[in-house]
Each structure stands twice: as structure tokens, then as C-alpha cells.
Amino acid sequence: MTGDAVVVRYTLSDFYGDESERAAVYGLQERLRAALDGAGEFGGNEFGDGGVTLFLYGPDADRLYAAATPLLRELPYRPARVRLRYGDPRDEVCREGDLDGDLPAERPPARRWIRAAEGDVFRVPVDASRSALGQVVAVSGPWVLVVIFDEPAFDADILLMALTFDDCLAGGEWPIVERRPVRADVPWPVYKMSVTSMGTFVEDHFGNKFREATPEERRTLRSRSQCSPEEVTDAARAAFGVGEWLDRYDYFIVDHQQTVARIIGSSADTLLRGHDVGNHGG
């Protein structure tokens, strides 16, 4: 998303937080939507890894933070960190600090990085002589959905899929070699997300809801989770025989039973192939 951003990370009691914590977060989100009129908008959340991250977007990060701060500080979960990001996220022009304290007065100079985009084909170093090949299939702010092929060829089968930050692409650790149309056979994944006051929903890779989950989907669908680029690299290396394959890497293996086309239908699958990442539920 273009413009400035305010990103807040709260620490919760366990990996996704308990029901009362999630309910409090969802309540805060609704209050933020009402309070930010004119200053910006609430852009979504990411639960996982022992906390929750909230994303706010607007034309002026300072004004946005001033409008949101009273509400953000009401949520009691600590420690909590805040980052004000100015302009393109790849430039890393940010001020950050404790949510309850003062932020640095000065902005750092912009750091110009390579800008990853949908369709970018990149290499993941496996060892001194080999690389795995991958593609960026969707982008939302600093998040990228990437696939890794089972052979170093663009027409090879898709082996791994992960939602991760664009750090390795922006910094050059995953060299971008070309840009091609996103593969037509991308198995867009679906997940479940439980909302205490509303039920359990089927959602896409960026958290956009399709509809309420059926009892069977509540039992079988996975929860959405993001990971570091370094973990994707380790999984790719293990898949190519370099290093140990750990159980947690199983999450990256493409599950063709849990896709948009299979669970939601071909019309929603076509919508995602058009790169519309808005709320699909209407």
C-alpha cells in the first residue's frame, strides 16, 4: 500500500493469543476505524508468534499516530512496540520505539532497495553451486506470497508456498532474475480464522474473508501464518537435500485440498488471479 504507515506489535499470552485477547483486539480495530476518519484507515492485523501486529495506513504517519495513540495505548498487552513508516516501505524511513514512550525525533535517511513486485522470478541459494527458483505471486505492503519450484525451471511443479516479508528480495539475498506473468496454476491457499464474537471464517493469504467456515472446514483448515525469509530459505535448502527437513517446514508444502478453487470455487480463484485483494465477503 502506498503512503505512510503506523505498525504496532503487542505481546500476547500464547502463539495467537487467547480468546479474550483476540476479542479485545477486534474491539480496538472497530474503534480505530471510527476514530481515524480523515487521518487514515485501519489496514488489518497479523496474529502469530506470540503476539498481534496492527497496520494503519494514511498520507501522514505523524498525524495518523497522533489520532490513534490514545486508543492504541488502551490495549493493555505489553511489551508493545510501534513503528512509524514514511513513504515506500523499502526505503526504511522509520521512527520506532515503545508504545508508551517517546519516539526518536529524527527520521533516518532513505535506504533505496530493489522493489519486488508480482511476477518477479528469483533464486534462493541452496549451496555454493545450486539455487532454487521461485516467484512472487502476490504482494501486500511488506508481505509477499512466494512459491518455490521443485526444479530450477519456471515450468517446474510448485513445491513450497509461504507468506513472508520481502526482506530477502529487497536486500538482494534472493536475486531477482526476471519478471514474468504469475503462473496460471498457482494453488491459491485458504485458511481459517476464528473471531470470538462472529464465528470462524474462511480467508485468503492476506486475511480477506470469503465466508463463514463449515464445521468440516473448522476442523481441517489450517490457520494462516507468516514466516521469516530465512526460514523459507532453510526449507528450500532442506527440500533440495541441504540440511535437515524439520517438521515445521511441512506447513510450506502445497496442499491441493485446501485451495480457493476447491473450497470456494472457480469464480473466487479467478478473482485472485486478477490480484484483487479486497474483502471478498461483501
Query: Residues 192-244: pLDDT tens digits?
Result: 987 766 789 998 888 888 889 999 999 999 988 889 999 999 999 999 999 99
**Rg (Cα) of the chain, in Å, rounded?**
19
Question: CA distances (Å), 107 to each of 58, 85, 104, 179, 224, in order?
Answer: 18, 9, 8, 33, 33
**With 80 as the cut, is the pLDDT of residue 275 above it?**
no
Per-residue pLDDT at 104: 87
Instruction: Quote the pTM value.
Output: 0.59
Per-residue pLDDT at 151: 92
Q: Which helix (H) or strand (E) holds 25?
A: helix 19-35
Please tell me the distance from the alpha carbon of residue 149 to that of residue 128, in angstroms, as a whole number. Answer: 19
Per-residue pLDDT at 266: 64
Domains detected in the chain: 4-98 (3.30.70.1710), 120-189+222-273 (no CATH)
What are the grid coordinates assigned to 237, written together?
535448502
Q: Are 195 and 281 in contact (CB under 8 A)?
A: no
Please tell me the distance from the alpha carbon of residue 101 to that of residue 6, in angstroms, as a whole number. Answer: 15
Least confident span in 92-96, 243-247, 270-274? 270-274
Q: Is 170 helix (H, G, I), strand (E, B) or coil?
A: helix
